[in-house]
Amino acid sequence: MKRIITAVVLVTVLTAAVVLAAAKGTAAPAGAKCPVCGMFVAKYPDWTATARFKDGTTYYYDGPKDMFSHYFDTARYTPGRSQADIAALSVKEYYSLKMIDARAAWFVIGSDVYGPMGFELIPFDNEKDAAAFKTDHKGRRILRFKDITRQTVSSLN
């Protein structure tokens, strides 16, 4: 009986370690609040987006829409910083739930899938998945990072 209990505990600990290792670097800290809307980001792990500044500071968002809002109005949400201070932008890919480079992503807008703050830019790591999602979920357009403007984000609010 003692061996069975030890084995169960060992399997549980190893499973937890694997899960934590896989999530490392993608999960928002428990107390992280979105600088745009003030929501606790960890409550919405499937929608996490981040901005890492050149000094290593990372801001977390409850969706790509708020990440873009911060990107387009950096000084408003982080006084003393500018868009040029941003080293990396990441979003959680819709299907795989892996963090991907936002600047290389494909985004679908106008779909029937909503994020924590309503209408959202749905990110994909390739055009094929974005096109399939657009068809399946009545999306309006597929956009690249460079095509997304302040007006695009405003139209989602």
DSSP state string for 7-48: HHHHHHHHHHHHHHHHHTTTSPPTT-B-TTT--BGGG-GGG-
DSSP class of residue 121?
P
Q: Hey, where are the domains in the chain? A: 26-154
The DSSP string of 39-79 is -BGGG-GGG-EEEEETTS-EEEESSHHHHHHHHHTHHHHST
Residue 72 has pLDDT above 90, yes or no: yes
Band of the pLDDT at 121, cuts 50, 70, 90?
very high
pLDDT for residue 97: 97
Residue 17 has pLDDT above 60, yes or no: no
Residue 3 has pLDDT above 50, yes or no: yes
pLDDT for residue 157: 85
Q: Provide the whole-model pTM.
A: 0.82
pLDDT, mean of residues 30-47: 95
What rounded mean pLDDT belongs to the chain?
88
The sign of the dihedral angle between the CA atoms of 27, 56, 31, 47 is: negative
